[in-house]
Amino acid sequence: MLKKIDAIIRKLEDDKSFDYHPRFRIEKKELLDIAFSKYDIKSAAELGCVWGIDCSYGIYALEKFKLNKVKMVDTHWTDTAMERVSNYPEIEVFKDNFGAEHMPQSIGNVDAVILFDVLLHQVAPDWTRLLEMYACHAEYFIIFNQDWIKSNLTTRLLDLGEEEYFKNVPHNINEAPYNTLFDNLYEKHPLHDRIWRDVHHVWQWGIVSDDLISVMKKLGFRLEYFSNHGELSYLKSFEEHSYIFKKIR
């Protein structure tokens, strides 16, 4: 319902961001607009840019703010995403796990790292280590995350056990890959070089917002901007939050 109202308002406002993708989120557009208009950000690495959106956020920022470099990173590229990014000489594609130790070096220094809907999926390395790995390679972190509000403890969701897990993630026990997840937790995944428990395409973490802010502070970043978009309509354990962090100089 809210999505329908949002779509109607945006049509009335003649908002062109829908042209990028039907699933383009207004909250993420606002976050990009604030980050790229307020700060001197000319290059970015978008970590996890493909699923359901085919690189639209990075392309939007590139076109609107005339960025000179965008590094797009994902393990699961689609033909559509590859075709779209091939139109932009400013875009460099990385088909790899951005948690791999060599990746921050391979991607190189950028003004900003963009992490939209990806932090809660990160294990081996965990989300905290991932932020640490990229902290010395960027001046800004632009983050959109579903944060855990069910308790004030950051929680590894799989440790809740099968029943509680499915009460707290927006996926169904009958839906792939979730239907085989708990039977195979410690088995090697056929596509990823790791056990099922550690793959990034399932919900992994309930991250408490204060913990994210505190980790970034320890890494030398100040919270410049925060916005709370409220609870997920279909899942009361999470709230969606936007963040901009800036390196303290």
3-class SS string, 19-83: HCCCCCCHHHHHHHHHHHHHCCCCEEEEECCCCCCCCHHHHHHHHHHCCCEEEEEECCCCHHHHH
Nearer to ligand SAM, 14 or 79 (CB): 79
Q: In angstroms, give the least distance from the CB of 117 to ligand SAM.
A: 4
Q: How many angstroms separate the CA atoms of 98 and 75, rounded?
A: 8
Is the alpha carbon torsion for 93, 245, 212, 168 positive or negative? negative
Q: In angstroms, give the least distance from the CB of 177 to ligand SAM.
A: 12
Binder of ligand SAM out of 52, 161, 170, 230 (CB under 6 A): 52
Contacts with ligand SAM in 105-164 (CB under 6 A)? Answer: 116-118, 121-122
For position 220 contacting ligand SAM by CB under 6 A, the verdict is: no
Q: In angstroms, give the least distance from the CB of 100 to ligand SAM.
A: 8
For position 65 contacting ligand SAM by CB under 6 A, the verdict is: no
Q: Give the contacts of 80 (CB within 8 A, at least 6 positions apart).
A: 54
For position 75 contacting ligand SAM by CB under 6 A, the verdict is: yes
Return residues touching ligand SAM (CB under 6 A): 48-53, 73-76, 97-99, 116-118, 121-122, 200
